[in-house]
Chains A and B, each alone.
Chain A
Amino acid sequence: MRIAIYLILLIIGAVLPHFVYPVLLMKILCFAIFACAFNLLLGFSGLLSFGHAAFFGGAAYVSGYLIKNLELPTEVAIIGGVLSAALMGWLVGILAIRRQGIYFAMVTLALAQMVYFICLEAPITGGEDGMQGIPRGSFLGLSLKDDLTLYYVIFTGFILAFLIIYRTIHSPFGQVLKAIRENESRAISLGYDVPKYKLLAFVISAAFAGFAGILKMLVFNFATLTDVHWHMSGDVVLMTIFGGIGTILGPVVGSSIIITLEDQLTDSAGDMVTVIMGVIFVVCVLIFRKGIVGESVALYQRMLGRKNLPQVK
């Protein structure tokens, strides 16, 4: 059943760019990676970071700099960007994981604002204009000039990121994370060095957020301030909650719908988009807290449960 769903999604992903504008799809994929990385933290470790834009946009700037100013190959730039995001994640994480709940969120937000400020003021980032005209170049011998080629490269990147995050969730490490999410003091009393686990989760999440930002930079040929703005941190929270916190596919579904909506509505509704997004958020939190995927799974299980009720699982 599960494998069937993934296979269908894989086929859809491979065929879709022939019917839908590939740039929109690439944007969706980038945000899907971003939301999956964020979900690893919020959904599986119980940490609400409000500064993930710093890793998303920060890595895009670093990668862009490596490609545009240092004229390094794309492969190197991607690796460099991901490493820089991981390093930033380590720095922010080490400061933030000492605090819990809202204080954790505030520390991450404050540090992310510092990154925003650096991107605004640093001489190499292009200030308010952002870093523009970053050439796409080539990747493993493939020229990325063509949208369709780039799409498949990014699709592969998405699958790779998704699989690694999936494996992280379903690893011995992931089990410990879930235990920490469920009951932190109990995990400590069982001998787990909780801060170390949280820090590693934070670094992995930051690295993939960075990876998502780099891919987005490749698609649009620029790294902008909106990528590091706190709005971006808020958007990824919305996508994850909308799709379903703590579900595997939730962030993918959430980001697909939100990005498509944004894309469709910008022309017709203009500035109203923000209002519509706000309404969606409120409805989501009030009525279906588990998000689209979470509620669907719950519904499916209820239907299944009714059929063979007498059995204990």
Chain B
Amino acid sequence: MGILCLGVTMIKTNDYILTTQNLSKSFKGFVAVNNVNLKILRGNIHALIGPNGAGKTTCFNLLTKFLDPSEGSIYFNNTDITKQKPAEIARRGIVRSFQISAVFPHLSVLENVRIALQSKQKTNFYFWRSEKTLKELNQKALELLHLVELETYHNQLAIELPYGRKRALEIATTLALEPELMLLDEPTQGMGHEDVDHVMKLIKSVSTGRTILMVEHNMKVVSGISDCITVLSRGSVLAEGDYQSISSNPEVMSAYMGTQATESK
């Protein structure tokens, strides 16, 4: 990993928000993630790319503790979070999205965002309280919806939204938690061109003041907004650096294209 990823601002070169040490996960002998050492600089948009089956989503699941790592440890703001539960991780400020769209389909668009705002309330177990007490959160929810241009749809059920808007709603919901670190799993997957541009701009605009780690296949998005790229292949880190160095790296080319090295045998 010759080239270091430096944040655009370059305040401190070693201010890492999230690091992993020898992170590994094996499923009954199959090693999905192998000795991964990630270092994510605060304030960066960090892209995780790699061919299918490279272990990107498994990596995400490990970082958010939806899976337990077989070995290795995870540090968030220099605190060891390897042993914590997914909900605790979320409350610490690491919030993820999912590969397939993860809205609450039969709740309204407004309620989708509000449920995220609500998670910080202390009244969540108060089954005797009226839900009218949640109205105070509506204003904030509408502001977040405004950010992703969805406030006109706030009364609709989330299931009625077209795909691109569902993904936007997801981002608004994630933002409601004011996460320090956002993990986006393929935010533009399955989208048309206009939607991709839209979501790309959206990610860029919400990245101010926070760090983003995203799995992404769309090279336009990766080259367009990411400050640093880590390439995973067969569970291990193959290369790391900015877009320039990654795109000219012969190993990366062969992993993606399957040139001589992999094809001949």
* Size band of the interface chain B makes with A: 35 or more
**Known contacts A182-B104, A183-B104, A191-B87; A173/B115 CB under 8 A:** no
Residue numbers in B under 8 Å from A200 (CB-CB): 125, 127
Residue numbers in B under 8 Å from A197 (CB-CB): 124-125
Interface 9-residue window, one of A81-89, A91-99, A137-145, A163-171? A163-171
B64 touches A191 (CB 8 A): no
Q: Which chain B residue has the least Cβ–Cβ distance from A196?
A: B125
Query: Can you give 24 A-B contacts (C-beta < 8 A)?
Result: A171-B127, A171-B129, A172-B118, A172-B129, A172-B133, A173-B125, A173-B127, A173-B129, A175-B111, A176-B124, A179-B107, A183-B104, A185-B66, A186-B98, A186-B102, A189-B64, A189-B66, A189-B86, A190-B90, A191-B91, A191-B119, A197-B124, A197-B125, A204-B127
Main SS of chain A's interface residues?
helix
B30 within 8 A of A: no
Bound together, the chains give a CA A171 to CA B124 distance in angstroms of 8
Query: How close is A294's CB to chain B, nearest CB, in angstroms?
Result: 12
B90 touches A189 (CB 8 A): yes
Contact of A170 among B115, B123, B130 (CB under 8 A): B130
Bound together, the chains give a CA A173 to CA B119 distance in angstroms of 10
8 residue pairs, one from A and one from B, having the closest CB atoms: A191-B90, A182-B104, A173-B127, A168-B127, A186-B102, A191-B91, A191-B119, A179-B115
A190 touches B116 (CB 8 A): yes
Q: Which chain A residue has the least Cβ–Cβ distance from B128?
A: A167
Main SS of chain B's interface residues?
loop
Contact of B134 among A167, A168, A175, A178 (CB under 8 A): A175
Bound together, the chains give a CA A122 to CA B160 distance in angstroms of 55
A182 touches B87 (CB 8 A): no
Bound together, the chains give a CA A123 to CA B118 distance in angstroms of 50
Residue numbers in A under 8 Å from B64 (CB-CB): 189
A188 within 8 A of B: yes
Residue numbers in A under 8 Å from B133 (CB-CB): 172
Q: Which chain A residue has the least Cβ–Cβ distance from B132?
A: A170
Query: How close is B94's CB to chain A, nearest CB, in angstroms?
Result: 9
Query: How close is B105's CB to chain A, nearest CB, in angstroms?
Result: 6
**Known contacts A189-B64, A190-B95, A191-B90; A183/B127 CB under 8 A:** no
A307 within 8 A of B: no
Number of interface residues of A (CB under 8 A): 30
B177 within 8 A of A: yes
Residue numbers in B under 8 Å from A167 (CB-CB): 127-128, 130
Binding site for B on A (CB under 8 A): 164, 167-168, 170-176, 178-179, 182-183, 185-194, 196-197, 200, 204, 312-313
Contact of B107 among A168, A173, A182, A204 (CB under 8 A): A182
Residue numbers in B under 8 Å from A172 (CB-CB): 118, 121, 123-124, 126, 129, 131, 133-134
B131 touches A192 (CB 8 A): no
B52 within 8 A of A: no
Q: Mark B235-252, 1 if CB is under 8 A from A, else 0.
A: 000000000000000000
Query: How close is A189's CB to chain B, nearest CB, in angstroms?
Result: 5
A313 touches B155 (CB 8 A): yes
B142 within 8 A of A: no
A183 touches B105 (CB 8 A): yes
B173 within 8 A of A: yes
